Amino acid sequence: MKLTCYRVLLIFFMGYGIAGSVLADSFTVEDIRIEGIQRISAGTVFNYLPVRVGEEFSESRYAESVRALYESGYFQDIRLERQGNVLIIAVEERPAIASVEFSGNKEIGTEELKEALKGIGLSEGEVFRQAILETVEDEMRRQYYANGKYSVKITSTATPLERNRVAIQIDISEGKVAKIKEINIVGNTVFDDEELLDQFELSIPAWYSLFSKSDQYSKQKLSSDLETLSSHYLDRGYLKFNIDSTQVSITPDKQDIYITINITEGGQYRVSEIKVSGKLLHVDEKLIKAVKVRNGDIFSRRLIVESTDSLTELMANDGYAFANINAIPEVNEEDNTVSLTFFVDPGRRIYVRRINVSGNSKTQDEVVRRELRQIENAWMSTENIEKSTTRLERLGYFSQVNVETPSVPGNPDQVDVNYSVTEQPSGSLTAGVGYSQSQGLLLSTSVTQDNFLGSGKRFGFSINTRDADTAYGLNYNNPYYTADGVSRGFNIILKERNAEELGTSDYTTDQLLMRVNYGIPISETNTIFAGFGYERLDLELAGGAPSEIRDFAAEHGERYKNLVAIASWVNDKRNRAALLADRGTYNLISGEFTFPGSGLEYYRLTYRHQTYIPLTDHTTLLLNGELGLGDGYGELDDLPFLEHFYAGGIASVRGFKDNTLGPRDSQGEPFGGDFRIIGNIEFLMPMPFFEEDNRAWRFAPFIDMGNVFASPGDFETSEMRYSAGIGMRWLSPIGPLKMSFARPLNDERGDELQRFQFTFGATY
């Protein structure tokens, strides 16, 4: 930098010297001639030159011209001469950068360095300036310091080449990373060092530091840890807590770092009074209920922030989207108490002008709009907008739903609500071809779609064949049979099943089922379903049928006609359709029973619960539990074997072969039972090497447990089976793919194991 300043002064004084001799007299410029340019065009010189042909050139214009040309950065020497009334500009261009090479850099990649230097003008083809190279060295040192390498050495050289070019070589000796030797907190008496330091991201070297790099000093990490320290105290009532100073020192060899944090804890404060004031739109009880802190509680900054957010949300639901809530504490030093006042400024009420929907090229606009809870020309409610988004995502028609609320130009109290949806591929709604280890090849010809012709109705005809059974189905469901959202559907199924192919007892059935179903929503998340149907069931015994089935057929016959009723309650608070959900809960209570006088008189009760708990932005803990209970009545003492519960396989307890857990018949084949219990724990996360927001792919480590028992009285915890493994789900264009690799944890002699399991394609 000093050399550059000297050069500017030299050119400046030389200019005045020449001006005094060569250009002592003013003259009118008749022409301008440029000499010495190689890469720079004459037009570029004229753009920077403040003198034009026809203008008067005087001594003062000389210094102005030299300064302007030099500040362009293209030239390292400039001379102005006069030949008659012709102004001659002789320049010597700065060299061009021919190459930039690095050596010794491991912490920061070469391409990353080149891209960063390109932004400040140090790249091939640019004009070389020594000052920029010096700036680059300083910036690179700061980068290495941020990564904990304080002993880094950077040396740069510029080698002249032919044709006025230079080759730049930057040699880096990174050195070792400086490690944190000690972190000392001075002034703490309420909490010990261990409790406080456990919350820090920085730490002294430990076995896990190899992976977390927590023992490497970073100014940004220290700032974050200091904020964490403040929050720890402020959330526990220490209102006067203060970080007095922070010292960071490094040993002379630049290998060890010592951090000292001096604090003042102060006393602990409690909340003595809570008030809400300002322009209030609700009664005090509703406002106070939104406040998370109560009289007598220990003062907590976290709870105050949550209270402010809760009040803001309350106002936003009434159209005051830009309400301003401020919490003002009044401290009483005598008794260490704080009086909190939440000042409410609702601001302007915001109304929705229009609701626009885009991206639904197949789905009819009506199907989308009937799910919306926000209304046009009404005030804006963030709660209703979020409900609308959730309802659209739970339809299962869209892989993504985005919403924006831009302001209406010229109307500060109006917004538009713009929903943009991404439709699922149509193939994902239609059954195709699949394979299951337990049921063999699955072939289907089907026109079934959940969103038939974009109407939101489910309609289709299907023919499905597999080793275990063959089914012909006709189904139809209208989710909005009435404008209030009452659904109605019909099902007709013809099914022939070979139980032996499913790994159970040796018999076959022919079934005809006709059913009508209704769904009645009673709230945003609660729906009651009711269905009635007729079933004709023919039982055919094979030569190897066990005695249990032969005795049943001898007592009750082999032809059954049943009137079936189904009732269920669903509470669905999931944020999306089942395969894509990652937060919320799902509860199902379902009962199926046959009317008195039916060929088989029985009932089956099922309860299912799911909880999705977000652990990070892209990882979710899924807890799933199922209970099944059935029994016979009238002439039946037990649940008919045709309606038994089964367990084992990819849909229940993975690692055990499908339908093989639980009681067995007299021939040792799985027979099922009247009582089933299943539990699953899964960690849903993005597939490795896939984009984190790719919802079609799921990677899921899991733990399964469960079994089937002859009756609830036979349940024993010691008979539960457990397994653990890794699963994968893919919502493919032709149907869902599930696969898992599981290891049974407590299998016993006689259990049928199957560690790798998968199923592919939609079945009916």
Locate 305 and state its tokens: 């922030």
For residue 761, which amino acid is it?
G
3-state secondary structure at position 651: coil
Locate 437 and state its tokens: 């280890």
For 115-129, the three-class secondary structure string (H helix, E strand, C coil) is: HHHHCCCCCCCCECC
Locate 533 and state its tokens: 């149907």
Q: What is the pLDDT of residue 433?
A: 43
Report CA 36 to chain centroid distance, whole Å: 60
764 within 8 A of 471, measured Cβ to Cβ: yes
573 within 8 A of 527, measured Cβ to Cβ: no
Q: Counting Cβ atoms within 10 Å, is residue 109 exposed (0-12), middle (13-18) or buried (19+)?
A: exposed
Q: For residue 527, give the H/E element and its range.
A: strand 526-541
187 within 8 A of 265, measured Cβ to Cβ: yes
616 within 8 A of 683, measured Cβ to Cβ: no
Q: What is the pLDDT of residue 692?
A: 56
Higher pLDDT, 565 or 108: 565
Topology of domain 96-173, per CATH?
Ubiquitin-like (UB roll) (3.10.20)
26 within 8 A of 82, measured Cβ to Cβ: no
Q: How far is CA 585 from CA 218, 682, 694, in A?
A: 41, 14, 22
Domain boundaries, the chain: 2-93, 96-173, 179-264, 270-345, 351-423, 426-760
Backbone conformation region of residue 692, classed left if phi is above 0, alpha if psi is from -120 to 50, else beta: alpha
Fold match flag (179-264 vs 351-423): yes
CATH 2.40.10.10 assigned to domain 270-345? The reply is no
Neighbours of 182 (CB within 10 A): 11
What mean pLDDT do residues 716-745 have? 86
Cβ contacts of residue 331 below 8 Å, gap of 6+?
239, 269, 337, 338
Rounded CA separation 61/479 (Å): 84
Q: Output b/e per residue, 329-345; b: 16+ Cβ within 10 A.
A: eeeeeeebbbebebebe
Identify the CATH number of the domain defined by range 351-423.
3.10.20.310
For residue 350, which amino acid is it?
I
Report CA 308 to chain centroid distance, whole Å: 25
3-state secondary structure at position 758: strand
Poorest-pLDDT segment among 153-167, 512-526, 645-659: 153-167
110 within 8 A of 178, measured Cβ to Cβ: no
Q: Output b/e per residue, 717-742; b: 16+ Cβ within 10 A.
A: eeebbbbbbebebbbbebbbbbbbeb
Q: Using the 8-state DSSP alphabet, how is residue 233 labeled?
A: H
Neighbours of 629 (CB within 10 A): 18
**240 closest CA partner among 329, 306, 343:** 329
Q: Using the 8-state DSSP alphabet, how is residue 583 labeled?
A: S
Neighbours of 750 (CB within 10 A): 8
Most confident of 54-63, 169-178, 400-409, 435-444: 400-409
Q: pTM higher than 0.75, yes or no? A: no
Locate 644 and state its tokens: 């038994």
Give the pLDDT band (50/70/90) at residue 233: very high
For domain 179-264, the CATH architecture is Roll (3.10)
- Answer yes or no: is pLDDT of 632 > 60: yes
How many helices (H) and strands (E) the chain has is answered by: 13, 36
Q: Write the pLDDT tens digit of every residue in 158-184.
A: 888 888 888 988 898 888 878 888 999
Identify the CATH number of the domain defined by range 2-93.
3.10.20.310
Topology of domain 426-760, per CATH?
Porin (2.40.160)
Q: Write the pLDDT tens digit of every residue in 56-89.
A: 888 778 888 888 888 887 888 888 888 888 888 8
What mean pLDDT do residues 38-57 have? 85
Locate 365 and state its tokens: 């606009």
Question: Degrees (nearest 5) of the Cα angle 600, 664, 591?
Answer: 40
Report CA 625 to chain centroid distance, whole Å: 25
What mean pLDDT do residues 337-341 have? 93
Q: How far is CA 330 from CA 303, 306, 342, in A?
A: 16, 19, 11
- Answer yes or no: is pLDDT of 262 > 70: yes
Q: Output b/e per residue, 575-584; b: 16+ Cβ within 10 A.
A: bbbeebbbeb
Cα atoms in the 13 Å half-sphere on the side-chain side of 759: 15
139 within 8 A of 129, measured Cβ to Cβ: no
Rounded CA separation 111/102 (Å): 10
Give the pLDDT band (50/70/90) at residue 499: low
Rounded CA separation 122/129 (Å): 8
Cβ contacts of residue 757 below 8 Å, gap of 6+?
437, 649, 650, 654, 655, 658, 739, 740, 742
Count of positions (residues) in the chain: 764
Backbone angles phi, psi at 320, to 5 degrees: -95, 75
Locate 683 and state its tokens: 């960690």
Rounded CA separation 76/131 (Å): 13
Q: Using the 8-state DSSP alphabet, how is residue 48 labeled?
A: H
- Answer yes or no: is pLDDT of 684 > 70: yes
Mean pLDDT for the chain?
A: 84
Higher pLDDT, 428 or 285: 285
Cβ contacts of residue 762 below 8 Å, gap of 6+?
430, 431, 432, 434, 444, 735, 736
29 within 8 A of 53, measured Cβ to Cβ: yes
Q: What is the pLDDT of residue 19?
A: 42
Locate 447 and state its tokens: 């026109």
- Answer yes or no: is pLDDT of 4 > 50: no
Rounded CA separation 60/20 (Å): 11
3-state secondary structure at position 187: coil
Which residue in this structure is represented by tokens 């599930």?
738
Locate 575 and state its tokens: 């944020």
